[in-house]
Amino acid sequence: MRKLSIKLIFLLLIVFSSWLVCFTVGKNVEHSMCDETYILSFRQNSRQFSESDIAAFEQEGVRLTYAGYLYPEVSSGFRKQKATVIATNENFPYFTKMDIKVGAFFNGMQEERELRVAVLNKTAAYDLFGNDNCIGEIVFLNRVSYEVIGITNEKSNTAKIYIPYQTVSVLTTDNTACNQIWCHFSNIAEASLMIGKAGFSMEDFDIQEINLFKKVFCLRFYLPLVIACIGIALFFWKKIRLNVKFLRANQVLDKKRMFDNLLQAIICLTVLMIVIRIIQMAWCIPPYYYLAEKRGMNFIYAVLDFYALARMNIDEMSFWGHWNLLSLFCLFVCFIGMLEIEKNKKENKMGYNKITDERLDEIIKSALKDTVDHLDVSERLKEKIDKEIVNRKYKQNLGYFEQNITINLATMCLNLYESLESRVTDKALKMKCLPSDDAFEQNITISNYMYSALDVLILELVSIFGSANTEIIFCTNRNSISVKGINVLHKDLEELFKEDDRKYLIAGNRLGVTMAYLNLCDINIMVLDGYEVIIKFCD
């Protein structure tokens, strides 16, 4: 049990850590770029946005920004450094949620007057001037002077300098075109309308909707929450069903159990409401323009690409690609961890319903393989079994004894009753399960195969000695389970299994071998008054 508990704690830590990384990445993405942003790029890879293209959108009142990249010679007058120069407009800080540490970003008036002003990130400021207190200093780009008016808080290993797009002509004669423009639209309908007014069509562009990207990132930390909540709801639902079966079997009103059922039902409903709310918040499907003209496998690939963000390509947001890979990896680890937790939980559950009768026979015979010459149904008794040797061998060599479970006596009684109810062939048999209340507090520890042997034992006893004229009642008493209504005498069981001078005498049928196996595991089978079979567990 301790080993399994450590494993479970380790798995929970992995799942929680992975989920926390997904949550952190999602929140960082959510706050790193403006909402309702649509990124347009031409589908023809060779075509870029020219000044006339950008002007066509601006004339329609579209709020937009862009980035043209230059790599001129950069100097502070006494120190030369490599830096990326980004030619853009006044809206760039709005779209990228840029944090200005000192000074300000250039405005529309400075753009119109083509003032040579520059904004540096911290890396460029320290590379050129050795500190970030350089407002009013001059930076030279291809020996053209620009006045530093602002320093950003941007964390980057690359030195970046932002200048007005209108001043590019004094630096180079080359045409500085832009691969993308970032536009602010309320929805895709407005985007389609404005694109049409600017003289283009939707088919001309690959459109990236930032809000959808953010939703996909958020979906990755909402999805494990939904699965966990569904698991919790199923757990409490199973407990409700178990209590209902108990109440039906007893045919009495148990106020404590009814209150427990009500409380568990409230928890189930609350968790399901949380799941519905999370699904509403995280709902995210590919837009129609993303799946246009996709059929068959191409449609499936397009959906997978959408949720993997495989086509995400945003200028000045390259770190989104790294965050995407990290988020996908952590989501994968989270799912694997949850599957391992479920597998671990199943290993700790009762294994009787997964073990066939043939497998149980093999287990029992394996446990007794060195204690009998052979097991043959035609031979009634087996001799020459030394109990001390048997005990020593099964403790040392039989690994399946290590797979233990801890369960309360009442739940075991109910489970054995339910298993019998579903497997008994004589439907005329009347059966009832009445475990005592204190049995729910009485825990016992047994192996999975011992549990399976108990299942076989009760099935054989009821099938052979049960009668339709007598009601069979399952109940508990301290550390034992009683099956009342079994018409069997103690001598009948002695013929199947008994000890004689520290030797086992075992019948070769299933019932005899099963009783021998359980006796080896310190589970005693007794008959009381020819009417009741008592299964007693060691203290």
Assigned domain for 40 exists: no
> CB under 8 Å to 105, separation ≥6 — which residues?
90, 92, 93, 98, 119, 149, 150, 162
Contact 144, 138 (CB under 8 A): no
Assigned domain for 465 exists: yes
Q: What is the pLDDT of residue 358?
A: 52
Q: What is the pLDDT of residue 164?
A: 93
**Distance of alpha carbon 250 from alpha carbon 314, whole angstroms:** 66
Domain that holds residue 378: 358-388+403-537
**Distance of alpha carbon 329 from alpha carbon 335, whole angstroms:** 10
Q: What is the pLDDT of residue 298?
A: 83
Can you state the angle between helices 210-250 and 255-282, rounded to 10 degrees?
170
Q: Which of 48-62, 385-399, 478-492 has the lowest mean pLDDT?
A: 385-399
| pLDDT above 70: percentage of residues in the chain | 81
* 311/368 same-domain check: no
Mean pLDDT across the stretch 83-112? 90
More reliable by pLDDT, 372 or 117: 117
Q: What is the pLDDT of residue 152?
A: 92
Q: Which segment, 274-283, 323-332, 465-474, is predicted with the most confidence on average?
A: 323-332
Q: Which two tokens stand for residue 336?
A: 């694997």
pLDDT per position as a tens digit, 314-360: 877 777 888 889 989 988 998 888 888 877 665 554 333 334 445 55
More reliable by pLDDT, 389 or 297: 297
pLDDT per position as a tens digit, 122-144: 999 999 988 888 899 999 998 89
Contact 124, 109 (CB under 8 A): no
* 344/362 same-domain check: no
Q: What is the pLDDT of residue 313?
A: 81
* pLDDT for residue 187 is more than 80: yes
Q: What is the pLDDT of residue 348?
A: 53
* 270/289 same-domain check: yes
Assigned domain for 32 exists: no
Assigned domain for 397 exists: no
Assigned domain for 187 exists: no
More reliable by pLDDT, 157 or 490: 157
Assigned domain for 218 exists: yes
* 368/314 same-domain check: no
DSSP string, 437-473: GGGGG-EEEEEHHHHHHHHHHHHHHHHHH--TTS-EE
Q: What is the pLDDT of residue 500?
A: 61
Q: What is the pLDDT of residue 422?
A: 76
* 275/329 same-domain check: yes
Q: Is 431 helix (H, G, I), strand (E, B) or coil?
A: strand
Assigned domain for 208 exists: no
The dihedrals phi and psi of 364, each to the nearest 5 degrees, come to -65, -45
Cα separations in angstroms, 501 against 123, 383, 384, 388, 522? 90, 11, 10, 12, 18
Mean pLDDT across the stretch 140-164? 90
Mean pLDDT across the stretch 170-194? 82
Mean pLDDT across the stretch 34-53? 84
* 451/303 same-domain check: no
Mean pLDDT across the stretch 146-163? 90
Q: What is the pLDDT of residue 402?
A: 43
pLDDT per position as a tens digit, 223-258: 888 888 888 888 888 778 777 766 665 555 667 767
* 329/382 same-domain check: no
pLDDT per position as a tens digit, 356-380: 445 555 555 555 544 443 343 333 3
DSSP string, 264-276: HHHHHHHHHHHHH
Q: What is the pLDDT of residue 250?
A: 56
* 151/278 same-domain check: no
Q: What is the pLDDT of residue 173?
A: 54
The mean pLDDT value of the chain amounts to 79
* 382/509 same-domain check: yes
Q: Which two tokens stand for residue 125?
A: 């400021």
Q: What is the pLDDT of residue 494?
A: 74
DSSP string, 345-404: HHHHS--GGGS-HHHHHHHHHHHTTTT-S---TT-------BHHHHHHHHHHH-GGGG-E
Assigned domain for 43 exists: no
Total number of domains in the chain: 3
* 455/502 same-domain check: yes
